[in-house]
Amino acid sequence: MARKRSGLLLVISAPSGTGKSTLIRRLCAEFPRPAFSVSYTTRAPRTGEVNGREYHFISQKNFASLREQGVLAEWAEVHGQHYGTPRPAVLDMLAQGRDVFFDIDVQGARQLREAFPQGAFVFLLPPSRPALEARLRGRGTEDPGTLARRLGNARMEIEQADFFDFLIVNDDLEQAYQELRTVYLAEGLRSRCNPHLNKTILATWDENG
C-alpha cells in the first residue's frame, strides 16, 4: 500500500575529519527524498554561486531584521559574516513530505533542537584521537596550528555528544553508513511522520462492511 508520510528532519554533526560529508552524500544518493534548506548569508557571492541556489545573499541589516522577527531557526557568525536557516522554508518542505537534512556544527544543532524538537539528531564520532589525527594529516592540507585547533575543537564537540539522540562511530565506513541508514529508516516509521495512517487502514473496515 502506497502511503504519504510527513517529512523527517535529520540533523548530523561531527568533528572535522570524521567522514560526515562522505556518509551524507551516500545517504542522499540512495534515497532521493532528502532536501537541503537554502540558508541566508551576509557574505558576497563567490564565482559561480547563484542567489537562491547556494545561499540567499542579503545585507547585514536584512539579516538582523530576520533574526529579530524569529524567521531564523538557527544562525551563526563565521569570520565576521552571518549565516542562518529560514524556519518557514523548512516547515514547508516537511509539510510537503520532503525530508530535510542538516549538516551542521554542535552550536547550530542545539539551536535547531529548540526550533524543531521533533527532529532526529545524530553525532558521528571518530574511533579515537590518534585515528582522527591520522585522517586530518592524511588530507595534506593541515599545518601544525590548524591541526591542533581542529583536534581541540573535536574534543569540545565530543564532550557535548550526549546532547544527540544517536551516536555513530565511524571506524569502518560501511558499518557507519549502515547504522546511519538504519537511523534514517527507523525515524521515518515514527507515528509523527505517519499521521492518520491507522485511520486510513481502519477505513478499509468500513469499505468492506
DSSP reduced 3-state for 33: coil
Is 209's pLDDT higher than 60?
A: no
C-alpha–C-alpha distance, residues 10 and 121, integer Å: 6
What confidence score (pLDDT) does residue 33 get? 72
Place of cell 508520510: 5
C-alpha–C-alpha distance, residues 22 and 159, integer Å: 23
* pTM for this predicted structure: 0.85
Q: What is the mean pLDDT of residues 141-168?
A: 92
Residue 119 phi/psi, 5-degree rounding, is -70, 165
Pairing of strands 120-125, 72-78: unpaired
Pairing of strands 9-13, 72-78: unpaired
Do residues 126 and 170 touch, judged by C-beta distance below 8 A? yes
Q: Find cell 525530508 and name the residue.
A: 99
Tell me what pLDDT residue 80 has: 86
pLDDT band at 78 (very low <50, low <70, confident <90, very high): confident
Q: How many helices (H) and strands (E) does the chain have?
A: 8, 8
Query: With 90 as the cut, is the pLDDT of residue 208 above it?
Result: no
Is residue 4 scored above 80 in pLDDT? no
**pLDDT band (50, 70, 90) for residue 1:** low
Predicted confidence band at 2 (pLDDT cuts at 50, 70, 90)? low
> Per-domain residue ranges for the chain?
1-35+99-209, 37-97
* Most confident of the following: 29-43, 71-85, 126-140, 167-181: 167-181
1-35+99-209 folds as Rossmann fold (3.40.50)
Average of per-residue pLDDT values in the chain: 91
Averaged pLDDT for residues 68-73:
94
Per residue in 33-69, pLDDT (tens digit) is 788 778 899 999 989 999 998 899 999 999 999 999 9
Above 70 in pLDDT, residue 186? Answer: yes
Q: Is the confidence at residue 3, as pLDDT, over 70?
A: no
Burial of 132 (0-12, 13-18, 19+ CB in 10 A): buried
The pLDDT score that the predictor gives to residue 66 is 96
Indicate the class that CATH gives domain 37-97. Answer: alpha beta
